[in-house]
């Protein structure tokens, strides 16, 4: 893959280097915590939306997708097999991308300010990138996938 000249460099595990250099706070490094923080931010954003039919419908969809990211990542960490892990991470990828779409729609409809939704949209896109990288790594083999604490040994 080529890089665009002047494009911001992204390190998926710790956020953007530019934010780090500017001294801005970065999202938590632990992906479990990071997805939970994302879900809570989505909840707060949806609660602050104006009351209208469009905002209610889009907000409901965003709330479902945004909170699903954290729930499904948590579930993926308890996967009993590589196949189950990949399936759950696929859902995390889809829900992160869907969250990005709903945030974009809110912005373009003028239902939320750019400042309010742009950081969340960036985070959703970073979560998509991290998830895709995790899926590729898990498909290659190597390290074992996380195992459920509830798994009963044979």
| 3-class DSSP assignment, residue 11 | strand
Cα 68 from Cα 105, distance rounded (Å):
19
- Tens place of pLDDT for every residue, the chain, 154 residues? 343 444 333 334 334 444 445 565 554 469 999 999 999 999 999 999 999 999 999 999 999 999 999 999 999 999 999 999 999 999 999 999 999 999 999 999 999 999 889 999 999 999 999 999 999 999 987 655 555 555 544 4
| CA gyration radius, the chain | 17
Enter the pTM of the model.
0.73
């Amino acid at each position: 893959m080529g890089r665009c000249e002047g494009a911001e460099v992204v390190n998926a595990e710790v956020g953007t280097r530019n934010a780090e250099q500017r001294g801005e706070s970065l999202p938590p490094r632990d992906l479990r915590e990071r997805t939970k923080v994302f879900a809570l931010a989505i909840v707060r954003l949806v609660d602050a939306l104006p009351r209208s039919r469009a905002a209610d419908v889009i907000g409901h969809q965003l709330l479902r997708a945004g909170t699903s990211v954290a729930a499904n990542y948590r579930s993926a960490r308890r996967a009993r097999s590589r196949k189950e892990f990949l399936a759950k991470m696929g859902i995390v990828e889809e829900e992160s991308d869907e969250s990005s779409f709903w945030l974009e729609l809110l912005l373009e409809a003028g239902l939320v300010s750019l400042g309010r939704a742009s950081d969340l949209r960036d985070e959703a896109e970073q979560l998509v990138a991290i998830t895709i990288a995790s899926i590729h790594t898990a498909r290659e083999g190597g390290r074992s996938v996380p195992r459920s604490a509830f798994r009963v040994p044979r």
